[in-house]
Structures are given as structure tokens and as C-alpha cells.
């Protein structure tokens, strides 16, 4: 199951994009309540998107959560310096860690209530 579909199943409005450049354009066109940013994307990497977003005043208040398959201390440190609010490693406590982060950063009024049991869908 795709991340976008998983979030929609959980009651969240979610939008996916094809690459890093499209992510940045979408963020600037309509700043979201939360960005779940994959580090491995075509055109621009997640770190490139984060770097650009960190210099854009219109995106300063948008929380950005890094998603990655590789837990690198150097990448984690660089992401934190650029303003990432969380760093999630895919597969580790997944999807519970994802729900925790989404619940933490998305305003409750921005989502429709869902019973907890419906928020345990597994990825993959």
C-alpha cells in the first residue's frame, strides 16, 4: 500500500508527487499541514527539497518529517540542521511511528476522527 493511500485510509487528506521538484512546487503552491519527505526521490533528493524549503519563508512553519530506508547519523544530523522536525526509518516500528508523528503535527481539526483500530494498516 502506498503511503498516500495509507494516510487516506487513516482519515487524512494526502497528496503524493512523482519527484522532489514536484514536491517543492506543490509545497509552495499550497503549504500543507505536514510534509512526509522521502530521502530517495528522482530529480531532487529529499535533502535537496529540505534545503530549498528551509530557505523559503512561506514554508518556515510547515513541519517536515524525513522518511528514509537508511539510518545514517550524518544524514540525520544534516536534516536536523536544515529544520526537519522528525526522522523516521522505514521498517522500524512502522507504521506506528508514522501515526505517532502524523498525530503529533497535524492539527486535529484538519482530520476526520478515525477509530484507533483503523489506523494500524501495514505498509507493504
Sheet holding 35-38, edge to edge: 35-38, 64-68, 86-89
Domain assignment present for 120: no
Domain assignment present for 54: yes
Which triple of cell numbers denotes residue 115? 477509530
Q: With a cut of 70, say whether residue 99 has pLDDT above it.
A: yes
Q: With a cut of 90, say whether residue 47 has pLDDT above it.
A: yes
More confident: 87 or 9: 87
CATH number at residue 11: 3.40.50.2300
Number of independent structural domains in the chain:
1
Residues 88 and 82: their CA atoms lie apart, in Å, by 16
Where is average pLDDT lowest: 3-12, 21-30, 52-61?
3-12
Amino acid at each position: 500500500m502506498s503511503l498516500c493511500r495509507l494516510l487516506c485510509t487513516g482519515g487524512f487528506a494526502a497528496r503524493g508527487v512523482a519527484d522532489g521538484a514536484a514536491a517543492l512546487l506543490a509545497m509552495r503552491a499550497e503549504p500543507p499541514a505536514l510534509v512526509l519527505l522521502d530521502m530517495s526521490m528522482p530529480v531532487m533528493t529529499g535533502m535537496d527539497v529540505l534545503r530549498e524549503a528551509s530557505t523559503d519563508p512561506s514554508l518556515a512553519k510547515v513541519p517536515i518529517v524525513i522518511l528514509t530506508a537508511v539510518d545514517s547519523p550524518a544524514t540525520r544530523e544534516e536534516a536536523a540542521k536544515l529544520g526537519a522536525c522528525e526522522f523516521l526509518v522505514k521498517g522500524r516500528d512502522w507504521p506506528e511511528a508514522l501515526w505517532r508523528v502524523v498525530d503529533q503535527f497535524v492539527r486535529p481539526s484538519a482530520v476526520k476522527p478515525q477509530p484507533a483500530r483503523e489506523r494500524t494498516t501495514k505498509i507493504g
